Every structure is written in C-alpha cells, then in structure tokens.
Structure 1
Amino acid sequence: MTKRIALVKKTSEGVEAQDFTQPDVDGKPVKLSDCRGKYVLIDFWASWCAPCRRENPNLVRSYAKYQKKGFEILGVSMDKAADKSKWLKAIQDDGLTWRQVGDLKGWENEAGAMYDVKAIPMNFLVDPNGKIIAKYLRGEELDKKLAEIFDK
C-alpha cells in the first residue's frame, strides 16, 4: 500500500515528470527530457487496445492543430515484442506521425511501471518545464485543455 501511494504521488499534477528512455521504432533511444521546452502528452497505448485505437483520431486532430504551437505527443507502447509488427502497423494505419517508443515488454514496460499504468489508454500532459499538469485527457477534454493553453 505504501508503495502504491508513493507511485500515485510521483504522478500527481504539479509533480515533475519522471524522465525515462525507451527505444523508438528503429531502436534508437528517446528520452522524455528530449521534449523539454514543449507541452508533451505522454500517451500509453497498445495496438491491441480498442479504446486506445478509438482515441487515436482525436490525438491526430489535436497534434495537427497544436504541434506548430509547441505541442508534442510521445506514444509509449504497451505491446510485447511478439506484437512489434502489429504495433508498427497500428502506427501506420492510424496515421500516428509523432514519436513512438516502447521497450516491448507489455505490462512490464518500465515507463509504464514508473507512471503506475494499470489500464490504457492513459496519458499525462507535461508542461515545458517538465511538470505534470493534467492526466486522463481524452477527446473533448484534451482539446479543451490544449485550447486553454494555446488559444489565449
């Protein structure tokens, strides 16, 4: 229980986002901190997750609308190594043009463990200074939050 509370505190709004490094689709290491200076949505998802796949069109729209204003998405795959081809196909099929990473350990994903991801889709919005400012943003809620930030 104490460990669980500590994990929840580490992912609370206002807390500095924990940095992590995961390989991208080509195996090159990508760090969350590489995105510093921008608003970043850390999006935990998987190719086999129907709710994640249904949310992807909303992410595509938000990315198209706000990317040039300083919004990034870092997709973190909860797929397993055996499903890498399905993950790559889902990225292609869903038109996900932002960075995608994953250690391909499924639910044992190290970034997922750091962020206490127990269900997907799950996301965290991080500000340019590296602080978590929101989580669980989907659909209209994500668009509303991004409009609040960028359409001032």
Structure 2
Amino acid sequence: MCALFCRAENPHLVEIYKQFKGPAFEILGISLDKPGKKDNWTKAIEQDGLKWPQVSDLNGWQNNAAQLYGIQAIPQNYLISPEGKIVGINLKGEQLADKLRELTR
C-alpha cells in the first residue's frame, strides 16, 4: 500500500522536474526500501521515469540519508534554496510548482 501511495506524487514531480531542472533546482530521491527489495526500487525508478539522483542503502527507516535529513514520513520533501535555507516543506503538485515559479521570478 505504501509503495503506491508513496509513488503517487511521482507524475507531478516528473513534470516539475522537466520544467524547473537547472542549477537552482534538483531533486534527490531517498528510498526507504528494505533489504532484498532493490529490484522493486530500481523498477519503480524506471517505470515512473525518475531522472533525478536516487539514493538508498536498503536499510528501510534506518537509511543513512533518511536519518541525516530527519525523514519521518513518506512521501516527504524539503525545498531548499541555493543559499541552503528551507523555503518549503511537503509541497506537492501545483503547490510545489507555484512556489518554484515564485522563487524563480
């Protein structure tokens, strides 16, 4: 169930990535898949057309990147300015696109 829910935002992210990718916008995908699930993870990346960097150590919620960034729910996202300031949290779909348009004016 979580895999489908977690991936539901991917079509929006793919479109946003196409529109905004550049020096000031990048996406980093952090997978919380568990050991033995690498094939599922890599298939999802391919099926959903995710072109941005993806990381996972296949340690589920104990994933080093998730621990480093304080990921406590999925999907979860942070919009970080080029200066390193958090300018948005958990923005999805059109809300994320609107914020990116605002920041790139």
Relative distance call for 1:127 and 1:92 in structure 2 (3 A) is same
**% same residue:** 48
CA contact (8 A) 1:80 1:106 kept: yes
RMSD between aligned residues: 1.4
* Structure 2 CA distance for aligned equivalents of residues 69 and 148 of structure 1: 16
| Residue of 69, 77, 81 corresponding to 1:115 | 69
After superposition, the C-alpha distances for 1:21-43 in whole angstroms (9 at most, x for unaligned) are xxxxxxxxxxxxxxxxxxxxxxx
Which structure has more relative contact order (CA 8 Å, sep 6+)? It is: 1
CA contact (8 A) 1:49 1:120 kept: no
| Residue of 68, 71, 79 corresponding to 1:125 | 79
Which range moved further: 63-72 or 84-93? Answer: 63-72
CA contact (8 A) 1:72 1:98 kept: yes
* Structure 2 CA distance for aligned equivalents of residues 69 and 62 of structure 1: 14
* Structure 2 CA distance for aligned equivalents of residues 94 and 106 of structure 1: 20
CA contact (8 A) 2:28 2:54 kept: yes
Larger radius of gyration: 1
- Unaligned 5+ runs, structure 2: none
**TM-score, length basis structure 2:** 0.90
Tell me the number of residue pairs that the alignment of Structure 1 and Structure 2 aligns: 104
1:69, CA displacement in angstroms? 6.1
Work out whether 1:134 is the aligned partner of 2:88: yes
Task: Tell me the amino acid that sits aligned with residue 26 of structure 2.
Answer: E
**TM-score, length basis structure 1:** 0.64
1:12-51 aligned at under 5 Å gives the runs 49-51=3-5
Q: State the match for 1:59 in structure 2.
A: 13
> Whose strand fraction is larger, Structure 1's or Structure 2's?
1
